[in-house]
C-alpha cells in the first residue's frame, strides 16, 4: 500500500495547508491514540521545536490523543533525539515530535517514534492512515486521557548526552562557539559542552517562533564561520532546528560537513578497535569519503538518501555507524536515532585524544569537488524522470567519464529536484551542474 500522508520522515508541509492544519492534526492525534491504545491505556510523549506553529499543533494533537483515551506527556521545546530517548526511558508507548527540522518556520511536521525510540515501521504508519478514514469517535468521559508536563526533561537529556562519552572525557582547554539555529537545542546544548569543561560562546539561542534556521544553524553556517574567526575559537558547532543534524567549523573558518565528521568518528574507532562492522553513507556521500575508507580497509555501503534508509541499512548489516553529508549521523551503539549533540561529542573524541586540531584531522579525507543545485518544482519525481532530463544526464555522464559522478533525484522533504555533480575538476563540475539544472528547469 502507498502512503498518502507519511513521507520519509513523518508528515510535513506548509502550516495552514493540508495536511498541516488544526483539523487534520486533531484527527491525526485521535488516529494515533486509537492505534496505540489497542492493547490498553496508551501513553504518548509530545515534544516540539521552537516554531510558532508548535503551540497550535501541540494543543490539537493533545486533544485528539485524549479523545481516543490516550494519556499525554508534554516536554515543550526539546530536540528530536531527546524525544526518542525520553519516550524509551519514560516507558511511553509512542513519541511525537512537532518539527520540520531544517526547514523555515512556516513549514512544520509531525514525526513519530515507537516505545523503543525507533521510527515507526511501515505497517504502523499505514495503520494510522487507515484510522484517518474512520469517524473520530470520542471515548466515554471516564475513559478520556489526561495530560501532564514532564519534569526535568532538559536535565534528563543533558545527562544522557554527557553519558555518551567516557566518564574521564573532558573538554578542558577547548574553546567552542555553538550555533543552535534558534531551535530546539538552544537551552540544552550549551550546558552539555560547558559541563564537560569547554569554554563556550553561543549564537542562535534567542528563538522568537519565526527565526528558526534563518541565516544560521547547520544549513547556513556563514554566521558561525565568522563567529569562530572573530573569537579565535578552536572550533564551532552548528545544529539544525530540531537537533538531529550537525556540522562543524574549524579554527580557520572552514566548514567540516557530515561526511568529514563521519570520517573522523569512523577512523578513530577503527584505530582504537571500537568500530563494529563498516559504515553506511548515502548516494549523496562524497566519493572522497569512500576512497578514504577504502584506504583504511573500512567497509562502506551507500543507502538511499534519508536517515530512515541509513538506519535500515545499518540494521540489516548489524553495523552501528552511518550518516549523511548534511550532518545527520547515527551512532547506534549510543542512541536509536540521529543526535547532533552526541555526534558532535563523538567527533570531539579524536581531537581531545590527539595533538591535532579539527583542521588537521579532517585532512585524512580528500573531498572531491561537489556542486548541488536545487530546482524548484511541484512534481519533482515526474520532472526528474522526464525524457529530456534523463537524456541530458546520460550525455553529461559521458562527458564526465570516470572522473566523477552525477546524481539527480527528487527531494523527499521539499518540492525540489536536487542536481548533484561530483568530480576531480571543480570548473567542469560547476559547468555540468549548471547545464543540467537548466534542462531540469526547462522541463518544469
Rounded CA separation 343/334 (Å):
10
Residues sharing a CB contact under 8 Å with residue 392, sequence separation 6 or more, in sequence order = 435, 436, 439
* Distance between CA atoms of residues 417 and 400, nearest Å: 21
Residue 89 CA from chain centroid, whole number? 21
101 annotated active-site: yes
- List Cα–Cα distances, 201 to 177, 184, 193, 305, 366, in angstroms: 5, 17, 10, 33, 30
Q: Judge contact between 303 and 322, C-beta under 8 A.
A: yes
Pick the catalytic residue from 63, 67, 73, 101: 101
- Residues with active-site annotation: 101
Amino acid at each position: 500500500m502507498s502512503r498518502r500522508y507519511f513521507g520519509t520522515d513523518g508528515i510535513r508541509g506548509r502550516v495552514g495547508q493540508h495536511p498541516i492544519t488544526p483539523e487534520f492534526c486533531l484527527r491525526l492525534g485521535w488516529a494515533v491514540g486509537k492505534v496505540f491504545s489497542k492493547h490498553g491505556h496508551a501513553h504518548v510523549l509530545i515534544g516540539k521545536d521552537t516554531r510558532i506553529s508548535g503551540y497550535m499543533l501541540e494543543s490539537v494533537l493533545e486533544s485528539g490523543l485524549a479523545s481516543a483515551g490516550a494519556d499525554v506527556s508534554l516536554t515543550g521545546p526539546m530536540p528530536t533525539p531527546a524525544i526518542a530517548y525520553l519516550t524509551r526511558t519514560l516507558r511511553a508507548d509512542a513519541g511525537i515530535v512537532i518539527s520540520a527540522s531544517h526547514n523555515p518556520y512556516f513549514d512544520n511536521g509531525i514525526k513519530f517514534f515507537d516505545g523503543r525510540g525507533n521510527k515507526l515501521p511501515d505497517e504502523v504508519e499505514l495503520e494510522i492512515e487507515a484510522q484517518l478514514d474512520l469517524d473520530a469517535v470520542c471515548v466515554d468521559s471516564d475513559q478520556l486521557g489526561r495530560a501532564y508536563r514532564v519534569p526535568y526533561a532538559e536535565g534528563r537529556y543533558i545527562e544522557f548526552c554527557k553519558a555518551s562519552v567516557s566518564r574521564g572525557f573532558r573538554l578542558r582547554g577547548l574553546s567552542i562557539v555553538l550555533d543552535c539555529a534558534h531551535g530546539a537545542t538552544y537551552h540544552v546544548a550549551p550546558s552539555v559542552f560547558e559541563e564537560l569543561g569547554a569554554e563556550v560562546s553561543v549564537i542562535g539561542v534567542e528563538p522568537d517562533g519565526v527565526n528558526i534556521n534563518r541565516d544560521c544553524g547547520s544549513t547556513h553556517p556563514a554566521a558561525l564561520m565568522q563567529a569562530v574567526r572573530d573569537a579565535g575559537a578552536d572550533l564551532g558547532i552548528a545544529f539544525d532546528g530540531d537537533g538531529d543534524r550537525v556540522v562543524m567549523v574549524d579554527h580557520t573558518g572552514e566548514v567540516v560537513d557530515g561526511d568529514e565528521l563521519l570520517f573522523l568518528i569512523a577512523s578513530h574507532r577503527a584505530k582504537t578497535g571500537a568500530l563494529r562492522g563498516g559504515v553506511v553513507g548515502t548516494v549523496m556521500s562524497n566519493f572522497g569519503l569512500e576512497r578514504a575508507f577504502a584506504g583504511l580497509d573500512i567497509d562502506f555501503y551507500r543507502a538511499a538518501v534519508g536517515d530512515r534508509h541509513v538506519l535500515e541499512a545499518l540494521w540489516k548489516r548489524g553495523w552501528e555507524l552511518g550518516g549523511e553529508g548534511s550532518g545527520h549521523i547515527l551512532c547506534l551503539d549510543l542512541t536509536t536515532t540521529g543526535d547532533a549533540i552526541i555526534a558532535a561529542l563523538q567527533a570531539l573524541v579524536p581531537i581531545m585524544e590527539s595533538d591535532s586540531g579539527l583542521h588537521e584531522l579532517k585532512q585524512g579525507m580528500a573531498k572531491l569537488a561537489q556542486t548541488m543545485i536545487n530546482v524548484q518544482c511541484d512534481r519533482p519525481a515526474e520532472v526528474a524522470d522526464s525524457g529530456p532530463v534523463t537524456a541530458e544526464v546520460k550525455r553529461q555522464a559521458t562527458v564526465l567519464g570516470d572522473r566523477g559522478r552525477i546524481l539527480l533525484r527528487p527531494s523527499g522533504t521539499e518540492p525540489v529536484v536536487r542536481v548533484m555533480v561530483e568530480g576531480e575538476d571543480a570548473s567542469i563540475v560547476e559547468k555540468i551542474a549548471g547545464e543540467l539544472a537548466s534542462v531540469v528547469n526547462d522541463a518544469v
